[in-house]
Amino acid sequence: MRLILLGAPGSGKGSIADMIQQKYNFPKISTGDLLREAVKRQTEIGIKASAQLGKGKLVDDDIVIALLKERLSQDDCRQGYILDGFPRNVSQAVNLKVINEQKNEIVFFIETSEEVVIKRIMSRLTCSSCGAIYNIYTKPPKNNLVCDVCGGQVGQRQDDKPEVISERIRTYHKDTLPLVAFYESSGHFYRIDGNGTRDEVFAQIEHVLDKAMFRKGPVKDQDSL
Ligand code: AP5
Ligand code: MG
């Protein structure tokens, strides 16, 4: 099974993917995390991506697709996986069908107001070692700026600055929102109200996934939430 999380920057894709991973045991694959890790490790792909990452525009499709292909070839993806931040445009969505065909695919579109996403991004903290996601107001690390998960250093992401945030939101409207029409007509697509608490958002996703897990064979039609 493949789960795709669509949503604006700061809509909660990464946080919800963590919750899905914990309950359903599918690995979370965040192309943002893969890119940041490649840049940190200065791999060949990381060196290519470093000029583009952190500016609010999309990194070139061929770079992201190469990273994703490599990640999907790993054993833990065999039973299924969660995509957080991929696809980001229609061309990536078309490529995904070729890279890894999946009979069972569910797309969640996390809809969140612009006011909410800006507030969330401005107050986000991220672990620079493992990528764990925190929030100054709603999920602070227990011990100052030390990561609860790995003990790494927690701080602001390089692209969580006001000027980059507005560029990320512009890019989202231009490149990523057209995916709603792409998946609404062809996939198993669910609109999720992303403005509530993490638990409220996750409950809507659980409702869909619990039904899908108990059903035998491919997911056939849209269930009402
Ligand atoms: P990426 O890392 O994917 O960033 P993004 O899409 O901008 O999304 P964010 O990670 O900012 O937000 P999120 O939705 O994951 O929210 P989170 O859970 O953290 O991409 C970064 C860059 O990489 C891109 O700009 C691009 O350059 C490049 N890139 C990545 N993928 C690419 C691709 N496929 N193609 C090309 N380029 C690509 O939550 C945000 C905050 O809110 C946190 O503090 C969290 O604790 C809090 N929070 C979450 N949910 C709730 C809730 N329900 N209530 C209260 N607080 C909440
Ligand atoms: Mg994220």
Residue 199, H or E segment: helix 198-214
Query: The tokens of 152 are what?
Result: 């790494």
Ligand 1 binding pocket, CB closer than 6 Å: 7, 9-15, 31-32, 35, 53, 56, 58-59, 64, 85-86, 88, 92, 120-121, 124, 133-135, 138-139, 159, 168, 197-198, 201
Q: How buried is 35 (Cβ within 10 angstroms: 0-12 exposed, 13-18 middle, 19+ buried)?
A: buried
Atom of ligand 1 nearest to the CA of 168: 25
Distances (CA, A) of 217 to 53, 70, 143, 205, 214: 39, 27, 45, 19, 10
* Spacing, Cα 157 to ligand 2 middle (Å): 10
Query: The tokens of 213 are what?
Result: 């897990």
Question: Which pLDDT score, from 0 to 100, does residue 219 have?
Answer: 52
Its pTM stands at 0.95
Contact 55, 167 (CB under 8 A): yes
Residue 38: HSE in the Cβ half-sphere, 13 Å Cα cutoff: 25
Q: Quick: pLDDT tens for 61-114.
A: 999 999 999 999 999 999 999 999 999 999 999 999 999 888 899 999 999 999
